[in-house]
Structure formats: structure tokens, C-alpha cells
């Protein structure tokens, strides 16, 4: 039986200036934790290279897409000036928002992780909180460090896939300082942290879920991804 094919976006790393003429501006890659997430969910992963904006040719071979984590998007992309964003980028957010919109047009299930959640929200017309410590009262510690991600509880909302899967509350691995400012139209709040920050959203049609934490670094990832696959009625 064929495994479901899941397309995974890659992080964009700036190449050294001296290598750009020979190798191009960008390096593309992912941390091993994403491979472990996909392997644990028993799917066939395909890394998505941004070779063009012909999204249809990519989407036609996929059963699902995962938008992975990354750095801060340029706040101009959601109608703000810089006010706490760090080392912003435009190219990757623009490409992935186009990819996401094309996936939605085709009805392809999508899971967003950290930046992936934020790009889903931006594509749906929502702005970001640019810096949680500066804008949120008594933040619960979302950022941590790359080698020591923060861990904090999140409340899961009744009637969501997250609540159905994990119950009322879980502790998650967190590494972010930005978040959605509000829930987009056509979506519902699926999880929030004790300080009120949006931690997850789910689309009304059940085909899109975004989480602000890093499920590839904790126990939630393979279970949640497999539940997404099962929800779409995968039969092989």
C-alpha cells in the first residue's frame, strides 16, 4: 500500500557572499527533527524546493503539505512597519504564502508549524504580534534558546482535533517570539497559552491546522500529523 505523500517546505539559509556567484543566494534544508516527525507518522516525505511559482505541478503529486518553522517575516507583508521583528525575510514568506493559497484552492490538507502557522494567518489576512515580550502582559516564556527550547502548557479548545487527540491541556516545546494577533476568518481558536497567546488554529473545514509550538521537538508531532492524514480519509 502506498504511503501518503507529504510535501515539506524547507528553510532558506543565506549563502556566504563569496559563494553566491557560484551557488546562488540561498541554501535549503531542515533539521533532523523534522525527518523524525515525518518518519514517526509513517508518511512519505518530499522536500519542496522553490524552483518556480508553478505550484500546481508540485501540488498534483502531494496528499498533504507541511509548512515548517523559520525566521521572522517582513512586517510589510502584513501591513506593519518593523517594531520588534528580527532579521526579517520576504522571499520565503512570499513563496510559501503563494504555495499555501494554491494548496487551499485545491483542497489539499495543510499543517503549519511555528512560522508555518504565521504564514497561514498572514495569507488569510491576519497581522502578527511582532515581539511577544514587548506586547503581551506577563508572557509565559515562549522563546527559550535553540539548544533549550522553552516548555509551557497550552489549553486545547473543545471541538477541535487537538482537543480530541490530546485532551484539555498539554505541555509543548516552544521557540518563538511572534504570534498571530487574531484568529483568521474561516478558522477557530484551537489552543492558547496561559498568557492568551494564540497557540493553534484549525480551519472550519478541518483541512488546515497550524500550531505555534514545535511538534517535531515533542511528543505531539507524529500523533498530530497522523491524525491529519487519517482525517482526510487516506486509503492508499
Q: Any idea which residues carry the catalytic annotation? A: 114, 214, 216
Strands 5-9 and 64-67: parallel
Cα three-residue angle 17-147-111, rounded to 5 degrees: 80
- How many CB atoms sit inside 10 A of residue 150's CB? 16
Amino acid at each position: 500500500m502506498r504511503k501518503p505523500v507529504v510535501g515539506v517546505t524547507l528553510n532558506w539559509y543565506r549563502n556566504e557572499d563569496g559563494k553566491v556567484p557560484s551557488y546562488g543566494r540561498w541554501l535549503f534544508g531542515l533539521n533532523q527533527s523534522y525527518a523524525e516527525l515525518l518518519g514517526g507518522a509513517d508518511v512519505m516525505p518530499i522536500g519542496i524546493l522553490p524552483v518556480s511559482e508553478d505550484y500546481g505541478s508540485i501540488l498534483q503529486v502531494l496528499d498533504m503539505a507541511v509548512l515548517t518553522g523559520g525566521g521572522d517575516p517582513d512586517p510589510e507583508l502584513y501591513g506593519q512597519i518593523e517594531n520588534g521583528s528580527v532579521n526579517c525575510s520576504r522571499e520565503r514568506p512570499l513563496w510559501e504564502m503563494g504555495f499555501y493559497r494554491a494548496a487551499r484552492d485545491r483542497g489539499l490538507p495543510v499543517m503549519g508549524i511555528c512560522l508555518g502557522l504565521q504564514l497561514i494567518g498572514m495569507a488569510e489576512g491576519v497581522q502578527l504580534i511582532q515581539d511577544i515580550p514587548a506586547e503581551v502582559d506577563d508572557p509565559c516564556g515562549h522563546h527559550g534558546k535553540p539548544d533549550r527550547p522553552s516548555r509551557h502548557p497550552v489549553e486545547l479548545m473543545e471541538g477541535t482535533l487537538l482537543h480530541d487527540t490530546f485532551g484539555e491541556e498539554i505541555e509543548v516545546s516552544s521557540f518563538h517570539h511572534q504570534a498571530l494577533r487574531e484568529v483568521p476568518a474561516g478558522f477557530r481558536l484551537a489552543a492558547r497559552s496561559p498568557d492568551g497567546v494564540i497557540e493553534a488554529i484549525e480551519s472550519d473545514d478541518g483541512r488546515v491546522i497550524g500550531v505555534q509550538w514545535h511538534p517535531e521537538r515533542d511528543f505531539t508531532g507524529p500523533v498530530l500529523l497522523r491524525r491529519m492524514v487519517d482525517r482526510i480519509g487516506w486509503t492508499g
